[in-house]
Amino acid sequence: MRRSRSSEFADARRDGVGSVPFRRRRRRIVSLVVLSLLVASGCAAQRPTNTPEAFRQAVTALVGPATFSAKTCGSLFDGDPNSALLAKGTSTVPASSVAGIRTRALAAGWQPQKHGGFTLALLGPDHYQIGVRVTGDSAVVRAELDRCSVRTRSSMLGNAPLPIPEPGQRQSLERAFALATPVVRELLRAAGVAARDDLFPESGSMSDADAVPPENCRTPNEGRLGVTWRAVAKAELPVSTDVAGFFARLTPIPGPDWTVAPETPRDDPQVNVVTREGVRIRVHTTRQTSGEGGASLELRVSAESACVPVTTTPAAP
């Protein structure tokens, strides 16, 4: 039986905004919203923790005595929230000692980095970071180890720091680039594609390749810090391309000084890996189908140098 409109109005007045039932419902709703936000963020409470001894030793070996602190910054979903931490170290040293810090860092395998906010920026083992800012006769040294599993901030040197190659590293990168560029350009030409000058310039000089900056890397075996470069050229081929014949035409292009190793991964019609000491070129095609039923054949020619570890050895003349 339908209730009268006057009864509905009476119920509304009884359970209105100021009523006890309404306030209880509001508290439940607020509690659920807060709980949902906590679950979504997954943030565990931050608390002071011990500074890892390896980090402490690595920093003091370069800068001398420093003041350290650390706090947890993990997630509720981590197996061990205490393993996620942010450790910091600070020290004030004479400005004249910065050159010595840099020399010791290179000897210990730290890679210099580009950073406008620091006079000297260094990336070390296990993602340790050091930034030195000189003001007058003194320099403030900041060190950081960021193992936070919840990303709420950028690390001290940024999330994608750019290395500054040492002279010996630069020479190795340039040599690899000069070897790879004419081969890549010829492979693209055989495919009917023009090479981009900001990726693979006709000069073959890395200094002319504006879109190919050096990158941080680690050597495969020792895990030492170093620098590399990577570049990828893409083009669309006719869907009717005979892929096997296409690769047969490309195979002899690199020449006898290169090793060509054909591969056939599951998702690619064919892949050729072309290698020479210090450089690797990968040529592959991928056939794709769009939602409208169309098809395309993408060609990718990628090249990269081997990871060149940091060294104090100067470049050869």
Residues 112 and 29 in one domain: no
User: String of b and e for 275-289 (b: at least 16 CB within 10 Å)?
Assistant: ebeebbbbbbbeeee
Q: Which of 121, 139, 161 is the last residue of a domain?
A: 161
**Residue 231 belongs to domain spanning:** 167-309
User: Is 31 contained in some domain?
Assistant: yes
pLDDT of residue 91: 97
**pTM > 0.85:** no
The answer on 69 and 32 residing in a single domain is: no
Both 246 and 199 in a single domain?
Answer: yes
Q: Which of 101-115, 282-296, 299-313 ranks highest by mean pLDDT?
A: 101-115
Decide if 78 is inside a domain.
yes
Out of 142, 161, 180, a domain closes at: 161
- In this structure, is residue 314 part of a structural domain? no
pLDDT of residue 8: 45
Q: Quick check: is 245 in a domain?
A: yes
Nearest CA to 184 among 300, 264, 265, 86? 300
Averaged pLDDT, 44-48: 76
pLDDT (0 to 100) of residue 35: 47
C-alpha to C-alpha distance for 104 and 40, rounded to whole angstroms:
44
Co-location of 251 and 278 in the same domain:
yes
Q: Does one domain contain both 78 and 151? A: yes
Residues 126 and 179 in one domain: no
- Tens-place pLDDT, residues 163-220: 999 999 999 999 999 999 999 999 999 999 999 999 999 999 999 999 999 999 998 8
81/188 same-domain check: no
Domain boundary residue among 139, 161, 183?
161
Q: Which of 101, 97, 135, 151 is nearest to 121 (CA)?
A: 101
Statement to judge: residues 69 and 32 lie in one domain:
no
The per-residue pLDDT for range 264-283, each reduced to its tens digit, is: 666 556 788 999 989 999 99
138 and 210 housed in the same domain: no
The total number of structural domains in the chain stands at 3
Is 71 a member of any domain? yes
Is 266 within 8 Å of 165 (Cβ atoms)?
no
Residue 83 lies in a domain: yes
Q: Please tell me whether residues 188 and 256 are part of one structural domain.
A: yes
**Section 22-36 average pLDDT:** 58
- Mark whether 148 and 171 lie in a shared domain: no
Residue given tokens 């890679």 in the structure block: 111
Cβ atoms of 73 and 85 within 8 Å: the answer is yes
Q: How many other CB atoms sit within 10 Å of the CB of residue 226?
A: 27
Token code pair at residue 232? 């990828």
Lowest mean pLDDT among 93-97, 101-105, 242-246: 242-246
Q: Taking all residues of the chain, what is their mean pLDDT, rounded to a whole number? A: 84
Contact 260, 272 (CB under 8 A): yes
Residue 232 lies in a domain: yes
In a domain, residue 124? The reply is yes
Residue 39 has pLDDT above 50, yes or no: no
Say yes or no to pLDDT of 58 above 80. yes
Lowest mean pLDDT among 19-28, 195-204, 260-269, 299-308: 19-28
Q: What is the mean pLDDT of residues 88-104?
A: 97
Same domain, 260 and 190: yes
